[in-house]
Amino acid sequence: MDFLSILGNGVRGMFGPEAAIYAIAAIGLNVHFGYTGLLNFGQVAFMLVGAYGVAVSVATFGWSLWVGVLVGLGCAVVLALILGIPTLRLRGDYLAIATIAAGEILRYFYRSAYAEPLTGGVYGLRQFADPFFELNPFPPGRYGIGPIDFDSRSLWVMTVGWILVVLISLLVFLLVRSPWGRVLRAVREDELAARSLGKNVYSFKMQSLVLGGVIGAVGGALLAINVQSVQPDSYNPVTTFYLYAILILGGAGTIFGPIIGSIIFWFIVTFFDAFLRSAVGAGWFGDLIDGADVGAIRFVLVGLGLMLLMAFRPAGILGDPKELRLDVR
């Protein structure tokens, strides 16, 4: 059993394109849930419209990739408005119900035979991101140290991904430290109090929903570009819950929470994936576990990790545990 290569796999997962993409989507969710207290259970829907915005624009309409990205972000704005206008005046639970349903509705719509001429139906669309990879400054080959290495394609997506993570985090940082962010946090604590002080709570919640949704769409667009394909069934509701796991792991309502959370989440997932596979290969578990079970077991371990976290650091890795002890009324 090559422990170094297993660890290498884990480290590769920590910094790989997926970690950056999930970090971006989790930053969007952090704006919703961490700073505004909006229960968005359909962040994957924003990723989906971002991804399909790119794919449909390029593969179906033959527009440029960059126009496609803008179309994806525009779709996220529209989706946020559609979700927000009817629900944001109501109690928080209604947004939760509407968003979780919207995610599934969109997935079924995009995979339906009706939408197939546009979206490719269940087969999705592919090979629409060539202009992105044509800009790749890294010559083909493998880059890295020892067991941690990436091909030039991944390295390019990673570079762009982590730069986006930094830029988006900076934007969110500037916003939440401003009086605007103060109102968001006030809305999270008590909507009525914010309203009694003359704040248009509905408008702030809408701005938050749009901003976080657009950030989610950036993640979705990058996800589509990374694999050069979109398929409706990769945008499951479970993705949203991975994002919540990431956010809670890192610490909701903190700037670095979603980033640290995504790094840890992807380390656990890829490390245990490699570890379990080689352990199964070496016959450690006998007939108890075979290769097909590994995918599920690593998420069991993520769940276990979350449970331990809730027991010992309930505010997340970066959260301030003092906040949880407060008598928040």
Partner 1 sequence: MSAEPAAPGPAGAGLAGVRPEPGVAKPDPILVVDGVARYFGGLRAVDVDHLEVQRGTITSLIGPNGAGKSTFFNLVTGFDKPNQGRWTFEGQQLAGVPAYRIARRGMVRTFQLTKTLGRLTTIENVKLGATGQRGEHFLPAIFRPSWAHQEREIEARADELLERFNLAHMRNEFAGTMSGGQRKLLEMARALMVHPRLLMLDEPMAGVNPALTQSLLGHITALRDDGMTIILVEHDMDVVMGVSDWVACFAEGRLIAEGTPRDIRANKAVIDAYLGSSRALPEETAPVDPAQPDEVEDTP
- Among 25, 164, 194, 260, which residue interacts with partner 1 (rule: CB under 8 A)? 194
- Among 62, 117, 140, 179, which residue interacts with partner 1 (rule: CB under 8 A)? 179
Query: Minimal distance in Å, beta carbon 254 to partner 1?
Result: 12
Buried-state track 87-101, b at ≥16 Cβ within 10 A, e below 16: bbeeeeeebbebbbe
Which residues, 235 to 264, sit near partner 1 by CB under 8 A? 253
Residue 111: half-sphere exposure toward Cβ, Cα within 13 Å: 15
- Interaction pattern, residues 134-173, with partner 1; x per rule: CB under 8 A: -------------------------------------x--
Q: Are 185 and 32 in contact (CB under 8 A)?
A: no
Q: Does 183 bind partner 1 (CB under 8 A)?
A: yes
Q: Kindly calculate the radius of gyration of the chain based on its CA atoms and give it in whole angstroms.
A: 20
| Rounded Cα–Cα distance for residues 255 and 24 (Å) | 12
| Rounded Cα–Cα distance for residues 261 and 123 (Å) | 32
Query: Minimal distance in Å, beta carbon 169 to partner 1?
Result: 13
H/E stretch holding 161: helix 152-176
First-to-last CA distance in the chain?
Answer: 54
Buried-state track 184-200, b at ≥16 Cβ within 10 A, e below 16: bebbbeebeebeeeebe
12 residue type, one letter: R
148 φ, ψ (degrees, to nearest 5)? -95, 100
Query: Minimal distance in Å, beta carbon 205 to partner 1?
Result: 12
- Interaction pattern, residues 63-82, with partner 1; x per rule: CB under 8 A: --------------------
For residue 255, the cross-strand partners are none
Query: Minimal distance in Å, beta carbon 141 to partner 1?
Result: 40
Query: Minimal distance in Å, beta carbon 324 to partner 1?
Result: 9
H/E stretch holding 151: strand 148-151
Q: Which is nearer to partner 1, 3 or 180 (CB)?
A: 180
- Among 192, 282, 288, 311, which residue interacts with partner 1 (rule: CB under 8 A)? 192
Q: Which is nearer to partner 1, 292 or 329 (CB)?
A: 329
Number of residues that this document lists for the chain: 329
Q: Does 207 bind partner 1 (CB under 8 A)?
A: yes
Q: Does 321 bind partner 1 (CB under 8 A)?
A: no
**Ramachandran class of 286: left when φ > 0, alpha when ψ lies in -120 to 50, beta otherwise:** left
Q: Are 207 and 85 in contact (CB under 8 A)?
A: no
Q: Does 182 bind partner 1 (CB under 8 A)?
A: yes
Query: Minimal distance in Å, beta carbon 327 to partner 1?
Result: 6
| Rounded Cα–Cα distance for residues 285 and 283 (Å) | 6
Q: Which is nearer to partner 1, 171 or 279 (CB)?
A: 171
- Interaction pattern, residues 90-129, with partner 1; x per rule: CB under 8 A: ----------------------------------------
Q: Which position has the token pair 């962010």? A: 181
Q: Does 175 bind partner 1 (CB under 8 A)?
A: yes
Q: Does 206 bind partner 1 (CB under 8 A)?
A: no
Q: Site size for partner 1, by CB under 8 A?
A: 33
Q: Which is nearer to partner 1, 97 or 317 (CB)?
A: 317
> Site residues (CB under 8 A) for partner 1?
171, 174-175, 178-183, 185-186, 188-190, 192-201, 207, 211, 253, 322-323, 326-329
